[in-house]
A and B are shown apart, each in its own frame.
Chain A
Amino acid sequence: MSKPAIHATPLQQKRRKGVFYELFIKHPILTLMIAPAVLYIFVFSYLPMLGIVIAFKDYTYAKGIFGSDWAGFKNFKFLFQTGVIYRVTINTILYNLAFLTVDIVAQMTIAVFLSELTNKYFKKITQTMLLLPFFISWVVAGAIVFNILSYRYGVINNVLTSLGLEKVDIMNNPTIWPPIIVFFRMWKGIGYGSIVYLANIMGIDQEIYEAAKIDGASIFQRVKYITLPLLKPTIVILILLSLGNIIRGDFAMFYNLTGNNALLLDVTDIIDTFVYRSLMTMQNYSMSTAAGLYQSVLGFFIIVTVNTIIKKVQPDYTLF
């Protein structure tokens, strides 16, 4: 680690190694400059980690975090015995897998087409249109859902009635909601994602394409044998990132799209919405913390495992 200083006296050598010397004597200003962020993260990320003990207690506001009675694993037992944690875990994972697949296919398709199309104005205008949903908040997306899907007033039902067809109750029909959520997620992310892929396609050496053209490769062959293989690292990294986060959900999306509709909970409840609901509506701090801790620990091990496996198989792709 440290290089031996040939001309240093023993005293100097000792000082040079000290943490105190490095931080406060050698670079006091740098340390002062990083201090606010260190303090911020300590307060907002590390202090809450102490709150994990709430999961093992019967938390009441009056007694506080450390004064509340110990409950052992009662809160976890409740989560597993009622089976609610399995439901939300499976939902979270299945949704994330669906997002991953649909997002990659949709975003890459758009990016590959955009990279090959030649009409500048078309590309510019469509890219502007594709990126627009990225700027729209999930609250607004909730308004859109109501506008389109509502039983009494929705656009779809309006069109169905004017065609002389029966109205459909989409809002309260659980089976139809997973595709709706996957669709809106795709809708919001397609502009962003296709830019990511497009940027990587633009980074590919044009000479490769020229050479393939001269050799008589068709455009389909060029996409299949040049673009896609060269995008592989990007795709793999994005897949690994999503796998690492497979147990985490987008609370704002689920909460606003479904409008917190209790009829849909079987298919739309994910860990994050469950944690929120048990905190806010059931006021069950301890169980809610337990569910959050379960998510955090599981997520941590998944990320570390994914990373360890990549390190062995393909070190270039490690997440950290």
Chain B
Amino acid sequence: MIQQQSRDERLFHTLGYIVVGIMAVICIFPMYLIIVGSFMSNEVIVKYGFSLWPEAFSLDAYRLIFDNPKHILDAYKVTIIVTVCGTLLLLFLCTMTGYVLSRQDYKYRNKFSFYFFFTTIFGGGLVPFYILAVNYLKFKEHPLIAMITPGIFGYFYVIIIRTYISKIPSSITESVKIDGANDFTIYARIIMPISKPILATVGLFSALGFWNDWFNCMLFVSEKKFYNLQYYLYTTLNSVAPMNAVMANANISYTTPPTHTFKLAMTIVTIGPILLLYPFLQKYFIKGIAVGAVKG
């Protein structure tokens, strides 16, 4: 059925296409600039600066990165380990807590909720946490633990999971209870399989958080081989030392080192997996955002 659009509607739609279109272009334009810059010749950049269009195409920066990829591979390894372990631990901790808090017959669930909630509105601040982590928990000697543990619990995730589990009809768990299953078995065998959609959502958000984290690495990690991707990128952007380290062991010699393109190429190598996975994961994230949104 073809509907006749009124003049108002045509105007509104035209406006909409223009505004949304421009905003969408603004959102990806910086990515485009980084990609363009990373493929430029460094000499041209030194002379004229970064440009809007690819000029003087060169693969120097990428050649340098892939010629001696030890550092970036180390960083990838650290980030992958931290992201996988962190996300699994977070899911375990948050689902278990969410399940207990969803149990209406657990009398102290509101007290526990408040115990968790209170820490979201009041805290000791950065310094006491830092002293605890460094002096007492020895985070500086255990870089992986230092990057994983601070991020494995989120009360917001617990609430989302609890809300989801609360909607599971109790008739499903009743029958198993009669068969003598204990609470943990119910959680592991019944609740978790049913909650897969929310596990996927929370898992993805948490994985993104671990992947993009650099703060804990900056605070606690001093050994270079334990730098995660984001922090390695951070050091690359802010000093020439990481590039010189790569250059020192590279088989290629350059008349001028690709200082600027190296930074941009490193940025692309860092966000590469996200850019590749993004189109496939996008819909789960959108679903996840909407879950949190409708709840308010």
Kindly count the residue-residue contacts between A and B in the assembled complex, taking CB atoms under 8 Å apart.
Answer: 292
**Is B124 a contact partner of A41 (Cβ separation < 8 A)?**
no
A198 to B105, CA, bound (A): 37
A294 to B198, CA, bound (A): 37
- Interface residues in B98-147 (C-beta closer than 8 Å to A): 99-101, 103, 105-108, 112, 115-117, 119, 121-132, 135, 137
Q: Judge if B96 is at the interface, Cβ distance under 8 Å.
A: yes
Q: Which residues of A contact B126 (CB under 8 A)?
A: 272, 275-276, 279, 288, 292
In the complex, what's the smallest C-beta–C-beta distance from A224 to chain B, in angstroms? 11
Binary CB contact string for chain A from 134 to 145 against chain B (1 if under 8 A, 0 otherwise):
111111101110
Q: Which of A80-88, A94-102, A155-163 contacts B (4 or more CB under 8 A)?
A: A155-163
Binary CB contact string for chain A from 194 to 208 against chain B (1 if under 8 A, 0 otherwise):
011111100100000
A137 to B230, CA, bound (A): 8
Q: Which of A3-11, A113-121, A171-179 contacts B (4 or more CB under 8 A)?
A: A113-121
- Closest-by-CB residue of A relative to B10 is A219
**Is B123 a contact partner of A45 (Cβ separation < 8 A)?**
yes
**Is A200 a contact partner of B293 (Cβ separation < 8 A)?**
yes
**Is A122 a contact partner of B123 (Cβ separation < 8 A)?**
no
Q: Judge if B31 is at the interface, Cβ distance under 8 Å.
A: yes
- Interface residues in B220-241 (C-beta closer than 8 Å to A): 230-231, 233-234, 237-238
A223 to B131, CA, bound (A): 53
Q: Judge if A237 is at the interface, Cβ distance under 8 Å.
A: yes
Contact A41/B153 with A113-B15, A147-B34, A192-B289 known, Cβ cut-off 8 Å: yes
Q: Judge if B24 is at the interface, Cβ distance under 8 Å.
A: yes
Number of interface residues of A (CB under 8 A): 110
In the complex, what's the smallest C-beta–C-beta distance from A226 to chain B, in angstroms? 14
Binary CB contact string for chain A from 241 to 256 against chain B (1 if under 8 A, 0 otherwise):
0001000000110001
Q: Judge if A300 is at the interface, Cβ distance under 8 Å.
A: yes
Q: Which of B48-56, B165-173, B246-254 contacts A (4 or more CB under 8 A)?
A: B48-56
Q: Judge if B62 is at the interface, Cβ distance under 8 Å.
A: no
- Interface residues in B5-30 (C-beta closer than 8 Å to A): 6, 8-9, 12-13, 15-17, 19-21, 23-28, 30
**Is B293 a contact partner of A195 (Cβ separation < 8 A)?**
yes
Q: Judge if A131 is at the interface, Cβ distance under 8 Å.
A: yes
Q: Judge if A51 is at the interface, Cβ distance under 8 Å.
A: yes
Q: Which residues of B contact A289 (CB under 8 A)?
A: 125, 127-128
A133 to B29, CA, bound (A): 10
In the complex, what's the smallest C-beta–C-beta distance from A82 to chain B, in angstroms? 18
Partner of B48, one of A110, A126, A161, A220: A161
Contact A220/B123 with A44-B150, A128-B279, A155-B33 known, Cβ cut-off 8 Å: no
Q: Judge if B271 is at the interface, Cβ distance under 8 Å.
A: yes
Give the interface of A toward B (CB within 8 A).
Answer: 19, 22-23, 27, 29-30, 32-34, 36-38, 40-41, 43-52, 54, 61, 64-65, 106, 109-110, 113-114, 116-119, 122, 125-140, 142-144, 146-148, 150, 152-155, 157-159, 161, 187, 190-192, 195-200, 203, 218-220, 223, 233-234, 237, 244, 251-252, 256, 259, 272, 275-276, 279, 285, 288-289, 291-293, 295-297, 299-300, 303-304, 320
The 4 A-B pairs of least Cβ separation, nearest first, read: A51-B128, A292-B125, A48-B124, A113-B16
Provide 30 A-B residue pairs closer than 8 Å at the C-beta atoms, listed in order of the A residue: A27-B105, A34-B96, A40-B93, A49-B122, A52-B125, A64-B135, A109-B19, A118-B13, A130-B23, A131-B27, A131-B282, A137-B211, A139-B234, A143-B237, A143-B264, A144-B33, A147-B34, A147-B37, A148-B50, A153-B50, A154-B49, A155-B49, A187-B30, A191-B27, A218-B6, A234-B296, A296-B123, A299-B121, A299-B122, A304-B121
